[in-house]
Amino acid sequence: MPYAILVSDPLASTLVLLAMLWLAAKLGGEAAVRLKLPAVAGQILVGVLLVSLPSLFSGLPKLPGFLKSPEFLKFMDFAHNPQANVLAYIGIVLLMFMVGLESSVPQMMKVGWASLRVAVVGVIGPMALGLMGAYFLLPKGTPYAVDLFIGACLCATSIGISASVLRERNASDSQEGRVVIGAAVIDDVLGLLVLVAVSGLAEASSGGGPLPWGSLGRTLGLAFLFLALALTVGRWLSPRIFGWASRFRGEEILLPFALAFAFVLAYMGSLVGLATIVGAYAAGLILEHHHVETLQVKERRSLEEMVQPVVAIFAPLFFVLTGASIDPSVLLHPNTLLMAGVLTVVGIIGKYISGYVAGGGTSVPIIGWGMVPRGEVGLIFVSVGRTININGEPLLSPEVQAGVLGAILLTTILGPIGLSWVLGKPKGQNKQV
Amino acid sequence: MPYAILVSDPLASTLVLLAMLWLAAKLGGEAAVRLKLPAVAGQILVGVLLVSLPSLFSGLPKLPGFLKSPEFLKFMDFAHNPQANVLAYIGIVLLMFMVGLESSVPQMMKVGWASLRVAVVGVIGPMALGLMGAYFLLPKGTPYAVDLFIGACLCATSIGISASVLRERNASDSQEGRVVIGAAVIDDVLGLLVLVAVSGLAEASSGGGPLPWGSLGRTLGLAFLFLALALTVGRWLSPRIFGWASRFRGEEILLPFALAFAFVLAYMGSLVGLATIVGAYAAGLILEHHHVETLQVKERRSLEEMVQPVVAIFAPLFFVLTGASIDPSVLLHPNTLLMAGVLTVVGIIGKYISGYVAGGGTSVPIIGWGMVPRGEVGLIFVSVGRTININGEPLLSPEVQAGVLGAILLTTILGPIGLSWVLGKPKGQNKQV
């Protein structure tokens, strides 16, 4: 076994796998950025490409032995590598914690009715249109839960993408910018509640019976109970926990305590059936700057500055692995393209109309396009949908998955393009250039 | 299975496990810091304590069912949890990368003969005395390799501990401080070469035959070849790689590239039989501040500032897991205590004498005590020794492991205490208070 080293020391081969995934993620992200697209789209596409390399190689007439070896094929099947998966999972949990850290409970309260109206219309619009689209696209007899889940996948706005585009174009403190960011915050919570409701619904309707309102109510009740307890007891506990931690004399106290706080909430959320990212996001919302002020002064760095490098290295693994879980041959099927196209149009229209309800003289197209990017939250919906079975079949078939992922990819790409366009004359280059 | 949640969702239970390990590590570290000991000693001890909790509980007359459940016992057997292990492994690899980043190849060249003399005596002294001590302590007929390995475990000085004690006492820019840090840098490379030599030797002498000079020469040759190539080709490549990366327009480029660089070198080192930490350390030595200057300016943060949070959360896992791998009942055995005591005395004397060869009017006790802490490098030696088999038996029996770990623990604790003492009047409190 000349290539045994790739698999014989699982830890050394994990290191070289991570190096490969980082380089691939950054190259894919770079290609996207050069094309004025968000980096996350490039990371997903590079995952699709990487995982299909072995089958592309197998078509070559003269193949070096290495590229045919079982060690290489196992190495390239990284979407099923448990080490890579746990790191990607920590990446997405911490990304949602950081998104939560970027806003606060009072900020959510203050953004007011405009953001709430935009968020509600921005959830109902794509869900209703997506449900209708899915109903017409999918064969008769498909369980309601599948249509509903497809609609749900289209309803969450990516806080990260909207905020970063607005920041790139110096528009994050405009009135429209504030409404979009506020709505994206509310939208995210609404979206996560829809996720809980719809996945509970899908699991409960496995027998093909009528809509299980009792189960839906219980799921929503538990989710609200968890969030209510997190936002009350958690907010009461957070300053006390970090106040106690600030009396520690050791070094590097803040980050381990903050991550432990996020992970315990994520775990407790999972006990009531919520996805761990919901708890991590709630932990971020609860945790206020002033709770950790003493520790931040002592350690001469803000919590965000410490969480960000951890997210920067692990979250791209999540996006590459997400891409690697798409079967590229399915993506090329005409039916998938049709579905992706229809869902993209429906997803953009459903979000765009939310711009009309903001009021206060704000620009409809800026708010409308600002709500379009789906990004990581839509991907999380799809990955949750992949784990749910209905009548012994996965809720989302590979074709439907590919179609929804295609629509998420397209809205993620078209959102920032549309937003840049309606924000007017481009100022030459991106900030990070 | 009422407690199934602890094991049913491996990823959610990994989150709560990590939270528990972080809190335990910080509490153990805090207790140590309050006792004026290095935090790492507390982290190791808390690992010993945590892993022995279930057997302590089993002695209680009235035990809640939860504490007897197989789910709880499996959860507490975290020393064998693959997820926790991969994170701990990444922690120690990145710690060694960061230690490498803290010094540079020219710095190693400049520290001069004083540091080199101290380093060489500081390696030969404890090895020779440790070998002798082990020869008298262990039963007749024990392979030479075991004695040699015990000596090797005592020969590496912890750069981190020495440097942090000197910094705490504002003595890192004294002449003695510079000699100790310089010697600790050289010492680390020498120690790692000794590790390679001794472990190669141990593996080769499995047959119980004479010392395998050929194998030793080949191992050393490969190690030198790798280090020589890393320090020449690697140093030529590093500015070019990061120069290329600095032309990327995407965000968060530096950290993934730097870690990929470290992990590729770690992997390449492992191909010639070196421990992955050697390659990661070499990557840190090679990577100079000015190679990454453009990226640091662009991302408004230094590479150290980005690596440090990742090390801060994962390295403590390594120390807790190291402690958790010590069988505490073995540690209580009189023979183990005798061995730990003898090796501690031998380890302190062997390092202390290196203070006499520094010359230039430097203080013998400051340099002598400065070289005493063993810390993480000694632990790595033990964990490597655990993976080597000789005549079908592990090179280090559990008793010998516990004795050596005891000695490392004691030198790690006594080193900073001795150094503080000879540095004169304590200035009240530690810097981080």
- Find the closest chain A residue to B310 by CA distance: A310
Tell which of B18, B95, B252 to mutate to test the A interface (max A CBs under 10 Å): B252
Q: Is the separation of the CB atoms in B338 and B137 below 8 Å?
A: yes
B224-283 residues touching A, CB cutoff 8 A: 245, 248-253, 255-257, 259-261, 263-264, 266-267, 270-271, 276
Q: B266 and A12 in contact by Cβ < 8 A? A: yes
Determine the average pLDDT of the residues in B370-390.
Answer: 74
Chain A hits for B271, CB-CB cut-off 8 Å, are 5
Chain A hits for B277, CB-CB cut-off 8 Å, are none
Q: Indicate whether B79 pLDDT > 70.
A: yes
Looking at chain A, the whole-number percentage of residues with pLDDT higher than 70 is 79
Give the whole-angstrom CA distance, residue B64 versus residue A40: 48
Give the whole-angstrom CA distance, residue B280 versus residue B92: 10
* Greater model confidence, B206 or B369: B369
* Greater model confidence, A37 or A128: A128
Q: Indicate whether B7 pLDDT > 50.
A: no
Quote the pTM value. Answer: 0.80
* Greater model confidence, B288 or B168: B288
- Res. B381 pLDDT band, cuts 50 70 90: confident
From residue A326, give the alpha-carbon distance in Å to each of A79, A316, A341, B185: 10, 16, 17, 47
Beta bridge partners, B393, equal B390
pLDDT at A269: 83
Q: Indicate whether A160 pLDDT > 70.
A: no
pLDDT at A110: 63
CB-based contact (8 Å) between B8 and chain A? Answer: no
Tell which of A86, A167, A297 to mutate to test the B interface (max B CBs under 10 Å): A86
How many other CB atoms are there within 10 angstroms of residue A152's CB atom? 29
Residue B248 is encoded by which pair of tokens?
A: 């990327």
Strands B389-390 and A389-390: unpaired
- Res. B137 pLDDT band, cuts 50 70 90: confident
Q: Which helix (H) or strand (E) holds B38?
A: none
pLDDT at A64: 78
Instruction: Report pLDDT digits (tens) over B292-335.
Output: 999 999 999 999 999 999 999 998 898 888 778 766 666 678 88
Q: Indicate whether A171 pLDDT > 80.
A: no
Give the whole-angstrom CA distance, residue B260 versus residue B244: 14
pLDDT at B108: 59
Q: Indicate whether B102 pLDDT > 80.
A: no
- Res. A346 pLDDT band, cuts 50 70 90: very high
- Find the closest chain B residue to A279 by CA distance: B12
Q: Indicate whether B142 pLDDT > 50.
A: yes
Q: Which helix (H) or strand (E) holds A400?
A: helix A398-422
Q: Is the separation of the CB atoms in B286 and B266 below 8 Å?
A: no
A275-294 residues touching B, CB cutoff 8 A: 276
Q: B33 and A266 in contact by Cβ < 8 A? A: no
Percentages of chain A per state (helix, strand, coil), in multiples of 5: 75, 0, 20
Lowest-confidence segment of A3-17, A352-366, B408-422 by average pLDDT? A3-17
* Greater model confidence, B2 or A92: A92
Candidate from A5, A245, A433 with C-beta closest to B271: A5
Mean pLDDT (chain B, rounded): 80
Lowest-confidence segment of A318-322, A425-429, B98-102, B248-252 by average pLDDT? A425-429
Q: A430 and B33 in contact by Cβ < 8 A? A: no
pLDDT at B359: 79
pLDDT at A156: 77
Identify the structural domains of chain B with CATH numbers, from first to last: 84-422 (1.20.1530.20)
Q: B33 and A310 in contact by Cβ < 8 A? A: no
Residue B49 is encoded by which pair of tokens?
A: 């304590």
Lowest-confidence segment of A280-284, A371-375, B157-161, B246-250 by average pLDDT? B157-161
Determine the average pLDDT of the residues in A172-196.
Answer: 71
Instruction: Report pLDDT digits (tens) over A78-98.
Output: 888 888 989 988 988 898 788
Instruction: Report pLDDT digits (tens) over A252-280.
Output: 899 999 999 999 999 988 887 676 777 88
Distance from CA of B8 to the nearest CA of A (A): 11
pLDDT at B121: 92
Determine the average pLDDT of the residues in A180-198.
Answer: 70
Closest CA to A45 of A326, A348, A347, A355: A326
Give the whole-angstrom CA distance, residue B48 versus residue B321: 8
pLDDT at A386: 73
CB-based contact (8 Å) between A23 and chain B? Answer: yes
pLDDT at A429: 38
pLDDT at A431: 37
From residue A292, give the alpha-carbon distance in Å to each of A260, B16, B251, B313: 14, 21, 27, 17
Q: Look up the ipTM and state it.
A: 0.80
Task: Judge residue A247's burial from the number of C-beta atoms within 10 Å of its C-beta, 0-12 exposed, 13-18 middle, 19 or more buried.
Answer: exposed
- Res. B22 pLDDT band, cuts 50 70 90: very high
pLDDT at B337: 87
Looking at chain A, the whole-number percentage of residues with pLDDT higher than 90 is 22
- In the DSSP assignment, the letter for residue A157 is -
Q: Indicate whether B194 pLDDT > 60.
A: yes
CB-based contact (8 Å) between A35 and chain B? Answer: no
| Contact partners, residue A275, CB within 8 Å, separation at least 6 | A192, A195, A196, A269, A380, A384
Q: How many interchain CB pairs under 8 A, A with B?
A: 172
pLDDT at A348: 93
Total residues found in chain A within this entry: 433
Question: What is residue B394's three-state secondary structure?
Answer: strand
Q: Indicate whether A12 pLDDT > 90.
A: no
- Find the closest chain A residue to B94 by CA distance: A15
Closest CA to B372 of B196, B149, B125: B125
Give the whole-angstrom CA distance, residue A128 versus residue B149: 69
Instruction: Report pLDDT digits (tens) over A93-145.
Output: 898 788 778 777 776 566 568 888 998 899 899 989 988 888 888 887 787 77
Find which of A212-221, A298-307, B213-222 is predicted with most confidence, using mean pLDDT: A298-307
CB-based contact (8 Å) between A5 and chain B? Answer: yes
> Measured on CA atoms in the order B86, B91, B96, B100, is the torsion positive or negative?
positive
Residue whose structure tokens are 């030595």:
B285
Instruction: Report pLDDT digits (tens) over A287-323.
Output: 988 899 999 999 999 999 999 999 999 988 988 887 7
Determine the average pLDDT of the residues in B82-96.
Answer: 87
Find which of A187-201, A230-244, A394-408, B400-414 is predicted with most confidence, using mean pLDDT: A230-244
Total residues found in chain B within this entry: 433
CB-based contact (8 Å) between B4 and chain A? Answer: no
Helical residues (DSSP H) of A59-174, grouped into ranges: 65-68, 70-76, 82-102, 105-110, 112-137, 144-153, 159-168
Q: A250 and B33 in contact by Cβ < 8 A? A: yes
* Greater model confidence, A251 or B239: B239
pLDDT at A167: 62
CA B38 to centroid of chain Cα atoms: 14
Q: Indicate whether A432 pLDDT > 50.
A: no
Mean pLDDT (chain A, rounded): 80
Determine the average pLDDT of the residues in B334-350.
Answer: 90
Q: Indicate whether B345 pLDDT > 90.
A: yes
